[in-house]
Structure 1
Amino acid sequence: MSSRSHAVVRNDDGQYAIWPGDLTVPGGWRPVYGPAGRAECRAWVERHWQGPGPTVARAGFAETMHGLFRARAAHDPAAVAVVGAGAGAGDGGDEGTTLSYRELDERSDRLAGALRARGVGPEQVVPVCLGRGVELVVAWLGVLKAGGAFLPLDPAHPRRRLAARSAARLASCLGSQLPAGDGPVAFGGTLGPGELLAAYRCGLFPLQAADVYTSAYNEAMYGDAVESGEVPVLPGGEDPYALAWWSPDPRPVLRPDAVRLPRRLARRLRGAVRWSTTADRAFGEVLDACADRRQPSWLTAELIASLTELNARGAAHSVEVWEGEELVGGVFGVAVGSVLSLDSMFHRRPDAARVAVADLGARFGAVGGRLLDAQWDGPYVRSLGTVPMERSRYLAELAGAVVTGPLRGDRLPAARLV
């Protein structure tokens, strides 16, 4: 069991528990460290589980939690080890179900073998999404026997824990300070929804290589920085140079209510142009339009799938601009609390993308949003009203971001923005 993934904790009543190392120890509990602490915990388990008879040490088993279970199975195999807790919220629905120590040992052995066959071993974190009950105990022991680290997930909200762990792993890989300069700050990793959201929480956004030539260019340009350790490589992915992570310094940002609409556009919106806007009503269409006719395309199928999942979770948003029933402009981005990072926009009518950004700012600001991030500096985003913000300050804004409410998504007249 990895000491970096789990800790033994003890409360004031003398009870012990295994607690995930990436979560704060709850009040009333304290970590038990060192050989003395482990011996104290083991003695408590022996007193409560073994009773009279051979101790774990005399039985010849390793001083591990699953070793203690196995010792009890050898000493008293028919004794009841686990009783189903019931069918309440978060429970396994197995009230009255029991497993003896022999059955628990055998079932967890089979699971451990299956996990090892799939590559689980030391330092490998295994998320488990099960309610409290018999199967959870089998899964816990099976993971430990395979040499992995057990990561319990709340069945009602499993993705939240995975996203938090992804953010912690990403932060540990990047270190305390992002690399300086105008190049990528990291390479590699994966583009799953949890990993993607974790990256945005750390101030990063992805740029995936569209082909092997772009990947080879990344290696030629930045390979020395990677080999020297200046630019880290994140775990996951076959070709690390196929995925670059960026965090420009400074960052072009603006307040949600500060998007500039030129006077000529204001006159058009008050006059003949009858545009309307919605939010999150055509997220997929906006992504497709942003990817259309852009070569090389950074919006790959893998990234689109993850962004679509984040939209379903309420972490990615789009605004659509309509002329009648025709989609004429749009923008999408990823939100980290009250900071929203604008990924891409498109227009099929002049200024439709600008209206989309202004509308997104209005809707986001109305639910507590306080900062729009345009990612890349340039003349166009400056015309929207962005100002440069040092990366250190931008990261501080992310760290202090507060949760916002859902965006209002109904159709509204674009003329209200002027």
Structure 2
Amino acid sequence: MGVFPMADSRDATRVYWVEPRRRAILPLDGFHCSRSLAKVIRADRFRVTVDRAFGQIIALCAEAAEDRPDTWINAAIEASFVRLHALGLAHSVECWDGDRLAGGLYGLALGRAFFGESMVSRASNASKVAIASLVARLRAGGFTLLDCQFMTEHLATLGAVEIDREAYMARLAEALDGTTRHEATTAPFDAIERDALVGGAVPGAVILSYLRP
């Protein structure tokens, strides 16, 4: 329907629905992978996995940090997305530095659309590597829409653009065409895994190969 949930704070008891007039999306054929980011990915600075630690990722996204003293992910939203993950509808991308979870992201997949909910970084470049890995997986799986909700400077450097609500709804309808409301999309989201799964992680060289035009 083009809306997404938010709360006023981590401790808030209510959830409200947001429908921006201007929506940020990241065109899957327009992802900007800088030389420095490509170098980090190619060097396998982080071990990148998918759906290995969904609960940890959403908890880390909801956690207060020095640059983000409060978040919009309250207990109700967290519990709802954990349930959606159990149903095969919500997914996470994790970046590991050794055994430490260094960052990642989570979101909802329906049809050929992925709705990015939140991302987090506890090490330099971790969230960028997670987004790059997400884009690679979505391209491999035939997705057509990556919804980023609100534009930020960080997203703009990666190729995100803003479109108006009417244009967004048209893209959304196309991406959801023929999709039932409860249709899980685990298989296409994991398409890249079928090509090169090594020790639970996809090598950086494989991720980069899917990012090339």
- Give the TM-score band, short-chain normalised: 0.7 to 0.9
Q: Which residue of 2 aligns with 1:283?
A: 54
Alignment partner of 1:395 is 2:194: no
| 1:117-171 alpha-carbon deviations (Å, 9 max, x no partner) | xxxxxxxxxxxxxxxxxxxxxxxxxxxxxxxxxxxxxxxxxxxxxxxxxxxxxxx
Q: Which residue of 2 aligns with 1:155?
A: none
Q: Following the alignment from structure 1 to structure 2, what is the Cα–Cα distance between the partners of residues 360 and 261? A: 13
**Larger proportion of helix:** 1
Residue 356 of structure 1, CA deviation: 0.4
Alignment partner of 1:414 is 2:204: yes
Q: Which residue of 2 aligns with 1:330?
A: 104
Q: Which residue of 2 aligns with 1:205?
A: 4
Q: Which amino acid aligns with 1:412?
A: V
CA RMSD of aligned residues (A): 2.2
Higher CA-based Rg: 1
Equivalence map 1:183-198=2 (5 Å): none
Cα distance 1:361–1:263, how it changes in 2: closer, same or farther (>3 A)? same
Q: Following the alignment from structure 1 to structure 2, what is the Cα–Cα distance between the partners of residues 387 and 355? A: 19
Q: Which amino acid aligns with 1:251?
A: R
Cα distance 1:390–1:357, how it changes in 2: closer, same or farther (>3 A)? same
Residue 211 of structure 1, CA deviation: 7.8
Residue 257 of structure 1, CA deviation: 4.4
Q: Of 341, 344, 347, which residue of structure 1 is paired with 2:118?
A: 344
Q: Following the alignment from structure 2 to structure 1, what is the Cα–Cα distance between the partners of residues 93 and 106? A: 7
Q: Which amino acid aligns with 1:262?
A: S
Residue 319 of structure 1, CA deviation: 0.4
Residue 253 of structure 1, CA deviation: 0.9
Q: Which residue of 1 aligns with 2:148?
A: 374
Q: Of 120, 125, 129, which residue of structure 2 is paired with 1:355?
A: 129
| 1:30-74 alpha-carbon deviations (Å, 9 max, x no partner) | xxxxxxxxxxxxxxxxxxxxxxxxxxxxxxxxxxxxxxxxxxxxx
Given that 2:102 and 2:122 are in contact with CA atoms closer than 8 Å, whether structure 1 keeps it comes out as: yes
Q: Which residue of 1 aligns with 2:211?
A: none
Q: Of 146, 157, 161, which residue of structure 2 is paired with 1:383?
A: 157
Uncovered stretches (5+) of structure 2, i.e. residues with no partner: 180-184, 194-199, 209-213
Q: Of 257, 262, 266, which residue of structure 1 is paired with 2:34?
A: 262
| 1:233-273 alpha-carbon deviations (Å, 9 max, x no partner) | xxxxxx9xx432112122111223433222122223334x5
Alignment partner of 1:249 is 2:21: yes
Q: Following the alignment from structure 1 to structure 2, what is the Cα–Cα distance between the partners of residues 211 and 332? A: 17
Q: Which residue of 2 aligns with 1:297?
A: 71
